[in-house]
Structure 1
């Protein structure tokens, strides 16, 4: 039997991508004449898929959201994506899970073309035998990218690890549990309200939380 699959969100779970994303959102807002988002709006915008998140959080119309998406990609793809750091303890966590026989995959609402470059830039790709599933043509949202990872795997799937409510919801769409992490952009209250199976405060707690899911 193939090894168990564990899916990980990227932004706010494996990496702190906040500086580059916030800078790109500010650039996008300025480019279309939208007022600069405040701190709470910026937090809410990190994680959910664009351009829908621009509509939901900022209240702009579809055409404005699409224009913001174009400007966002100019900034983010132009170099802001590299303003990112791996959270402390994450490499040790991934190495431990691989050593004990799990297959790891990234499932992110970020476009796959960016996610692939980022995980390689940070040296995380060596842990991801399950690959990187991200948004693309006809693929949008957490449930869709989780579905891609599941379809590419022939063995059992343990669940998803993420930092936002949409991670919990995306996992649930496939009948999977989600372990929430508090060091990202969501927080315990958001994750608990969404129905996370467990909420952890340190990467070192994840192996034991995954063991509970297996039981």
Structure 2
């Protein structure tokens, strides 16, 4: 996969990892609709707005247990319905945040290698980034969880990206405390972004190295960490 503007960073170029949902794209509509269907399938009341917000970012089915208080069997049943409806088309109910394409293009043109590291299944992540046209910026690849459970959680996914890269790593950019914690598991700083689903207080409380309010502010935050 070539980078835009004709630049081809090597494996020794600095790596920057990006979360997907809430960082590069607003995936809220599709995820919320899928969660509502999953909850209804097991007879649960419709999750409220705060529960729906909390469910975007952390890995499923653990998030169903943690946020909705269901047992493991119920969470697994919800997961089956969620995958059926989300993978069936609702994953395409997504929009790119304003300023994100320019951010990725600028970083790639500077010689950085960019990767997605997401807790959502890798197959879904590949489809999303291709659907919205961000794949051309991601020379370092798209890394995510596996349906069979062999890879799950942010730390494991970040580990895959690092294993595929031979050069320096700058930071992970994300919107939830899970991103901060997943980066910290590998000794990496996290630049938190407030336009997603976590917010400044959550990110600062988790120990983000910096918290920014717009994509245009990300490069300066990353430069401070280089």
Q: TM-score range by the shorter chain?
A: over 0.9
Aligned residue for 1:202? 214
Structure 2: which 5+ residue stretches go unaligned?
1-10
Q: Secondary structure at the match of 1:213?
A: coil
Alignment of 1:13-52 (within 5 A): 13-52=23-62
Alignment of 1:76-87 (within 5 A): 76-87=86-97
Shift of 1:35: 1.2
Normalised TM-score (structure 1): 0.99
Aligned residue for 1:95? 105
Q: Measure the CA separation in 2 of the matches of 1:144 and 1:13.
A: 19
Further displaced range: 130-139 or 178-187: 130-139
Q: Measure the CA separation in 1 of the matches of 2:22 and 2:116.
A: 12
Aligned residue for 1:139? 151
Count of residues paired in the alignment: 214
Aligned residue for 1:163? 175
Structure 1: which 5+ residue stretches go unaligned?
none
Q: Secondary structure at the match of 1:91?
A: helix
Normalised TM-score (structure 2): 0.94
Q: Measure the CA separation in 2 of the matches of 1:173 and 1:160.
A: 11
Shift of 1:77: 0.6
Shift of 1:200: 0.2
Q: Measure the CA separation in 2 of the matches of 1:134 and 1:198.
A: 24
Aligned residue for 1:125? 135
Q: Measure the CA separation in 2 of the matches of 1:49 and 1:200.
A: 24
